[in-house]
Amino acid sequence: MNLSDYKGILVVGEIYDNKVRPVTYQLISKGRQLANDLNTKLYAILLGNNISQFANDLIYYGADIAYIMEDKILENYVAELYSAVLSKFIENLKPEIVLIPATHTGREYGPRIAAYLQTGMTADCTDLQIRNGKFIQIRPAYGGNIMGEIITPNHRPQIATVRPNVFKAENYDKNRKGEIVNVKPDLSKVNLRTVIKEIVKTTQTGTKKVDEARVVVSGGRGIGSKEGFAILQELADLLGGAVGASRVAVELGWMPKSAQVGQSGLTVAPDLYIAVGISGTIQHIVGMKDSKIIVAINKDPNAPIFNIADFGIVGDYREVIPIFIEELKKELKK
């Protein structure tokens, strides 16, 4: 592999529910910054059918070239199909860096591309940097309790996946100029053995989306039971917020996966994040560290969550939260 043959940064976007998924623009914004640091071009690609109307936004967010790969066969996402056509595309384009959204689909087809191209892939990066011309991929390591910096020194492209809301979509400029290129998928090696029989959406009635709420009250192992979350819901309701959970609380079946905050869950940045009975592993912290105000309640004075909290109360949530609710009610009455 001659590394100098590889130039440019490619962002693979995602179409979901006939719309461009916001993480696409977040990665383009970050990609734009990296491309500027490397003094190179930024490409973006969308796959699907009837998607040409989305091309402009890719440019306006920062792509120099927006590739639109349209075909009836791409209308519905299928892992082995998308990985095959993207692999061929990337093989031809030869970008030095590829960014893929770490959504369920991205985490499904993405690794296949890395294996096809026999190159390195880093999953769920929480930051990306260019330092001395090197692409540094940063993510939590060892079960999420330490930060690790990863490089792909001798292989190209360097592939990184990033979860939604890790970066911000910004600098939308309708005056940006760029190129729109239509490409046909290379189906020569595709041997489709997968069929999507149905897609079912299960909408939750009444529960606020955790990654859209202004206030999140989150519970961890310290809550102790499913029932324990009821009082967190009460507090969240008072504050007009949503209830989140740590990975442990979800694994123990106390809260649904959709409420999970952390590296393998949602990344949130609300105005107020109240962490209750959460010890604060990096695994969790990377999912909420950008919250404006962090309040932590935990029995263990050594819990790492207190290192990032603006306010902390050492105590049993069963005693603290009722008092919180009481005082809050008094305050809101005023």
Partner 1 sequence: MKILVLVKQVPDTSDVKFDERGVMIREGIQSILNMFDQYALEEALRIREQYGGEVSVMTLAPEQAKSALQKCLALGADKAYHISDRAFGGSDTLATSYALSLAIQKTGPYDIIFAGNQATDGDTGHIGPQVAEWLGIPHTSYVEKVEKIENNVVTVKSLLEDGYRTIEMKLPALVACIPPPNFEYSNPTMSGIIKAKNKPYIWMKADDIDGDKSKFGLNGSPTRVVKMYPPPKREKGQIFTGDYREAVRKIIEHLKEKKVIE
DSSP string, 10-64: EEE--EETTEE-HHHHHHHHHHHHHHHHHT--EEEEEEESS-GGGHHHHHHHT-S
Collapse the DSSP code of 19 into the 3-class scheme (helix H, G, I; strand E, B; otherwise coil) and give the result.
Answer: strand
Residue whose CB is less far from partner 1, 183 or 190? 190
Q: Which stretch of DSSP H or E encloses residue 9?
A: strand 9-12
Considering only 6-14, 67-75, 227-235, 251-259, which stretch makes contact with partner 1 by CB under 8 A?
251-259
Considering only 28-36, 52-60, 175-183, 298-306, which stretch makes contact with partner 1 by CB under 8 A?
298-306
328 touching partner 1, by CB under 8 A: yes
Cβ neighbours, 10 Å, residue 120: 18
CA 56 to chain centre: 23
Q: How many CA atoms lie within 13 A of 165 on its CB side?
A: 20
Please report how close the Cβ of residue 65 comes to partner 1 at its closest, in angstroms: 26
Handedness of CA 38, 39, 45, 50 (dihedral sign): positive
Kindly report whether the peptide bond that precedes residue 157 is cis, defined as omega within 30 degrees of 0. Answer: yes
Kind of pairing between the strands at 242-245 and 215-219: parallel
> Total residues contacting partner 1 (rule CB under 8 A)?
97
Residue whose CB is less far from partner 1, 177 or 193? 193
Q: Which of 292, 266, 45 is nearest to 157 (CA)?
A: 45
CA 294 to chain centre: 21
Considering only 2-10, 28-36, 49-57, 321-329, which stretch makes contact with partner 1 by CB under 8 A?
321-329
Kindly tell me which residue out of 174, 203, 205, 333 binds partner 1, with binding defined by CB under 8 A: 203
Kindly tell me which residue out of 133, 177, 206, 253 binds partner 1, with binding defined by CB under 8 A: 253
Kindly tell me which residue out of 3, 141, 181, 230 binds partner 1, with binding defined by CB under 8 A: 141
Please report how close the Cβ of residue 117 comes to partner 1 at its closest, in angstroms: 10
Residue whose CB is less far from partner 1, 168 or 299? 299
302 touching partner 1, by CB under 8 A: yes
96 touching partner 1, by CB under 8 A: no
Residue whose CB is less far from partner 1, 198 or 227? 198
212 touching partner 1, by CB under 8 A: no
132 touching partner 1, by CB under 8 A: no
Answer whether 27's CB lies under 8 Å from 114's CB: no
